[in-house]
Structure 1
Amino acid sequence: MTDTDDTVPATGTDDSLLLRTEGRAAYLTLNRPKALNALTHAMVRRIDRALTAWEHDPAVETVVLTGAGERGLCAGGDIRAIHDDARNGDGTASAAFWRDEYRLNARIAHYPKPYVAVMDGIVMGGGVGVSAHGSVRIVTERSKIAMPETGIGFVPDVGGTYLLALAPGELGTHLALTGAPVGAGDALLCGLADLYVPSEALPRLLAALAHAPVRQVLGQYAQQEPPGELAAARPWIDACYAADTVEEIIDRLLEHGGSAAKETAETLLAKSPTSLKVTLAALRRARRLGPLENVLDQEYRVSCAALTAPDLVEGIRAQVIDKDRRPRWTPPTLAEVTDADVERFFTPLGERELGLAASDTTQEVPW
C-alpha cells in the first residue's frame, strides 16, 4: 500500500482531524490543540468514515489514535456548542451529535482490527469515549483521565457509566460523582487503560507500529506504571460509596473522620445535585444492563433529558462561558431533587431511541 496523507477533507477547509497511513498502520490525529482537541460533530463523522475505509483495507493492520499538541489527547465534546444549542435552539443538533458519537464509541469497542489509543495528557469526557473503548489503551506519566460531567450539570456519557461500573469496588462511583482525574496507575487499576509507556518513548512506539505487529511493539515499550493513589483509599471509598443515596454517601464521608473523605464530601456538595443523583442511578443501573450497547442506549436517554433541564446550560456557563465558577443549580440542594426528577432522565424516547441494543456487534480483537 502506498503511504497516504488525508490531512484535509474534500472541502479543503477543515483540518481538525489528520489522517494518514504508513506501512501497516493508519494514524488518526485529533487536531484542535487550542481547544484541547475537543470533538465536533464533523470530527466524529470523519473518524467513522476513516474507520470504515481502514476496516476494509487489507493493508491496514492497526489503527492508532493520538492528539495534537502537548496538553492532551482530547478534553471532550464541544460543550460550547451544546450550551448554545440547549439555550437558544431546540436541542436537535446536540442529540444528533450524541447519536453519532455514541455509535462511534460502540464501533470502537468492537473494531475488528487493533485500535491503539494513546491517552497521553488530558483525556476527559468524549476523549474517554474515543480512547478507553479501544483494544489497546496506553497511558503515560502525563495522563489525566476524568469524567467531570457532574461539575457542568451533566452525567457521564460516551460509555463512561459502563466503564466506571466495571471498576473495582466503588472506585467508579467515586470517579463518576466527583469527576476527579486519575493518573496512569489508577487508570490501570480502574480498567480504563491497559499499558504504561513513558511519554518520551511515544514517538518511537508510534513509528514502530508502522513496521511491526502491535504485540511485538508493545512488548518492547511497555513498562511498570508508577503507583497510583486509589488502592490505598479503597477502604473508605468502598465503605462510603456503597450507600444507596447521594445524601447517605456524603453523610458517610463526613462521618469517616479522614481528611480525604471530608474533602471529597465538600467536592460533591459543590456539584449539581440533580447530576449527582442521576449519575448514581445511571451507574447502578449500568451494572445490571449488560453489554456496552445497552448502557449507551440509557446514556442517550439521559443526555437528551439533560438538554431540557436547567443545570446543563448553567453549569457550562459557570465553568466555560463566564468562568465565574459559581453555578446556581436548580434545585439547589439534594433534598429538593425528588425520585420523580431523577426518573425523568430515564424515560424511553420512543422513535428517537438510539437503538444500539438491537444490534449484535460483539467480537474479540486479537492483538
Structure 2
Amino acid sequence: MLRTFRTAAKVSPSFVAQNRIRMVNGWLGARVNMSTTAAKDAPEADVLHRKHLSSRTFVLNRPKALNALNLSMVRNMTPQLQAWDASDLCKVIVIKGSGEKAFCAGGDVRQVVELAQNKKHDEALAFFAEEYKLNHMIATLKTPFVAILNGITMGGGVGLSVHAPFRIATEKTLFAMPETNIGLFPDVGGSFFLPRLDGETGTYLGLVGTRLKGIDTVYAGIATHYVPSERLVALEDRLSELETDNHDVINMAIEDFVSEPLHDHKYAISDNRNAIDRCFRFNTIEEIVAALEQENTDFAKKTLKTLRSVSPTSLKITLQQIREGAHLGIADCFRMEHQLARECLYGNDFAEGVRALLIDKTNEPHWQPPTIEAVDREQMLGQYFRNESPVPLELSSTTTYNEYPYRRYGLPTEDEIRSVVTGEAEGSGPLQLTAEEVADVLVKKSGGKIGVREKVMEVLSRKVSKGAEGELKWID
C-alpha cells in the first residue's frame, strides 16, 4: 500500500490535486524552462544545471555511460555548488541522474588507470583529489542537499550522495561499493560512512561489495527515505516551492511523498546480520576468513568465495581504512583516502583489476601478491597508511565532524534501539518494555517516520531475548 500525501500546512489543495494527476498519468521528464543552460548546449553537457523557484538541480547527463563520474563532471559541479551554497535565493540543492538505469554507476576509472600507466600519476591523482574535494563540500554544505538515488549507485555515485542529509531511494535503487573487485578500496568517504553503519554491516559491504536494492538501503542506513519513482517529479516540484532552507522543513516535505512500508518485504541481509557481526568484527582478514570457515553455512561459503576472488591487497587496505575511519573526522578520512589512492596508482592491482574486469573483460585478474596470506600486513601498513603523501589533499574548507550532523533523518540505528531496550535512552521509561513499547518510543522520537517500527521490530527479532520476568534483554 502506497502512502497518500499529507495535506498539512504549506501544501495547497490545488498543488496536491495536480500532483495526484501527475502520479496517475506517470508524468516524467524534465521541464525545459528550468534549465539555465542554453537549449542548444544542454544535450551536450555532461552535467545540466537547472533552476526552478527556490531549488537548484544537478542532472548527471551521461546516460549511455550510466552517468559515470569523470573529471569534467567534477569540475562542472564544484564551482556551481559553491555558488548555489552562497546564494540567498537557493533554498535546496538536488542531484539526480538522467536516464532510467542509473544515478551514477561509479567513477571513470579506465581513464585514470590509462594516465597512471602512461606515467602521468599526478594527473591521475588529480581526479581523486578533486572528486574528494567535491564529496567533502557536499558533506559540509549549509544549504540542504537532496540526492535522488533512482537507479545504479556505486563508487563515485556514492560519494555524490551518501554524505548528504537527505538520500532518497526508489524501487530502482541498486547500491554497492565493489572497489575490492578492481584492486581499489571503497573511497569517496567510505572510510567515514561504512564504519558508522549498524554493527559490522559497513565492513561486510566494503570488503565483499554486496549489492542492496531499494528499501533495503533505507534499513541499512544508506538512504534516509524511500519514495516510489513515480512520485519524484511531484517531490521535486514540492521542494522548489519551499521558501526556507530549514532542514527539518525539507525533511517534512520529503516525508509527504514516502511510501508506506512494504509489509511483505524482508530486509535482504536480515538472516545473516548476526553472522556478519560475528565474522567481520576482527581486525585482520585472516581472522575474518577463519570465522567464516567456522560458520560453515551457505552464506559463509558464498562470502568466502568472493573474498578469495578479489584483490588481497585491497581487502587489507579496506579493512584498515574502515577501522581507522571509525575514529577520524570526515575531513581526515578524505585525506587518508587521498594517500591510499596515490599508492594504488603506483601499485599493480588497481590497473590489473580495471584491465581484467573493464577493458579485456576476462574477469581473471592476476593479483600481486596473489593470496590473502601472501600480503604482509605490516608492509601494507607502512606503504599505504604510514607513508606521508608529498602533496596532501587540500579541501575547500576546514569544516569537519565525527558523526553525521543530520543522522536523525534516517531510520534509528541498532545502537539507538539498544539504548531504549536497556533504558539508557532518554524517555525510554522502565526496563520492562515490550517490543511494541520500544517501537512506540522510537516512532514518537522520530515524529512518526514511516519505516521506524518495521526496522525496530526486525532488529529486536535478532538482538533481544526475554528474561525470567519477561523483560527484554539485549544480546551482544
Q: Same fold (TM over 0.5)?
A: yes
Q: 2:259 maps to what in 1? A: 223
1:8/1:233 CA distance change after superposition, 3 Å = farther
Residues 67-121 of structure 1, C-alpha deviations (whole Å, 9 max, x = no match): 0111110011111101201212331112111111111111101111110000111
Any idea what SS the aligned residue of 1:340 has?
helix
Q: 1:47 maps to what in 2? A: 77
Q: Is the 8 A contact 2:158 2:188 kept in 1?
A: yes
Q: CA deviation at 1:340?
A: 3.5
Please tell me whether residue 345 in structure 1 is matched to residue 387 in structure 2.
Answer: no
Q: CA deviation at 1:258?
A: 1.4
Higher mean displacement: 106-115 or 213-222: 213-222
Residue 316 of structure 2 is aligned with which of 260, 277, 285? 277
Q: CA deviation at 1:60?
A: 1.2
Q: 2:368 maps to what in 1? A: 330
Q: 1:97 maps to what in 2? A: 127
Q: 2:353 maps to what in 1? A: 315
Whole-angstrom CA distance in 2 between matches of 1:256 and 1:139: 33
Whole-angstrom CA distance in 2 between matches of 1:149 and 1:9: 37
Whole-angstrom CA distance in 1 between matches of 2:107 and 2:389: 25
> TM-score, normalization: structure 2?
0.72
- AA aligned to 1:236 is A
- AA aligned to 1:223 is S
Q: How many matched pairs?
A: 364
Whole-angstrom CA distance in 1 between matches of 2:125 and 2:39: 24
Q: CA deviation at 1:204?
A: 1.5
Residues 258-315 of structure 1, C-alpha deviations (whole Å, 9 max, x = no match): 10111011111100000001111111111122x1111111111111100011000000
Whole-angstrom CA distance in 2 between matches of 1:361 and 1:338: 33
Q: 2:295 maps to what in 1? A: 256
Higher mean displacement: 248-257 or 194-203: 248-257
Q: Is the 8 A contact 2:177 2:186 kept in 1?
A: yes
- AA aligned to 1:42 is S
Residue 153 of structure 1 is aligned with which of 177, 183, 188? 183
Please tell me whether residue 247 in structure 1 is matched to residue 286 in structure 2.
Answer: yes
Aligned positions of 1:24-173 closer than 5 A: 24-173=54-203
1:242/1:8 CA distance change after superposition, 3 Å = farther
Q: CA deviation at 1:12?
A: 8.7
Q: Is the 8 A contact 1:184 1:228 kept in 2?
A: no
Q: 2:223 maps to what in 1? A: 193
Q: Is the 8 A contact 1:148 1:178 kept in 2?
A: yes
Structure with more contact order per residue of length (Cα contacts < 8 Å, sep ≥ 6): 1
Q: CA deviation at 1:214?
A: 2.5
Residues 152-200 of structure 1, C-alpha deviations (whole Å, 9 max, x = no match): 0001100012111101111111000011111233322332111010112
- AA aligned to 1:353 is P
Any idea what SS the aligned residue of 2:315 has?
helix
- AA aligned to 1:35 is A
Q: CA deviation at 1:355?
A: 4.5
Whole-angstrom CA distance in 2 between matches of 1:164 and 1:341: 24
Any idea what SS the aligned residue of 1:206 has?
helix
Q: 2:341 maps to what in 1? A: 303
Q: 2:19 maps to what in 1? A: none
Whole-angstrom CA distance in 2 between matches of 1:9 and 1:337: 54
Any idea what SS the aligned residue of 1:29 has?
strand
Any idea what SS the aligned residue of 1:352 has?
coil
Q: Is the 8 A contact 2:170 2:215 kept in 1?
A: no
1:220/1:12 CA distance change after superposition, 3 Å = closer
* Sequence identity percentage: 36
Q: 1:294 maps to what in 2? A: 332
Whole-angstrom CA distance in 1 between matches of 2:39 and 2:377: 47
Whole-angstrom CA distance in 2 between matches of 1:360 and 1:144: 30
1:243/1:183 CA distance change after superposition, 3 Å = same
Q: 2:463 maps to what in 1? A: none
Any idea what SS the aligned residue of 1:335 has?
coil
Any idea what SS the aligned residue of 2:168 has?
strand
Q: Is the 8 A contact 1:146 1:175 kept in 2?
A: yes
Please tell me the root mean square deviation across aligned C-alpha atoms, in Å. Answer: 2.3
Q: Is the 8 A contact 2:207 2:318 kept in 1?
A: yes
Q: CA deviation at 1:348?
A: 4.0
Any idea what SS the aligned residue of 1:209 has?
helix
1:225/1:354 CA distance change after superposition, 3 Å = farther
Point out where structure 1 has 5 or more consecutive residues left out of the alignment. Answer: none
Whole-angstrom CA distance in 1 between matches of 2:168 and 2:187: 21
Q: 1:175 maps to what in 2? A: 205
Q: Is the 8 A contact 1:293 1:357 kept in 2?
A: no
Q: CA deviation at 1:126?
A: 0.7
Please tell me whether residue 18 in structure 1 is matched to residue 48 in structure 2.
Answer: yes
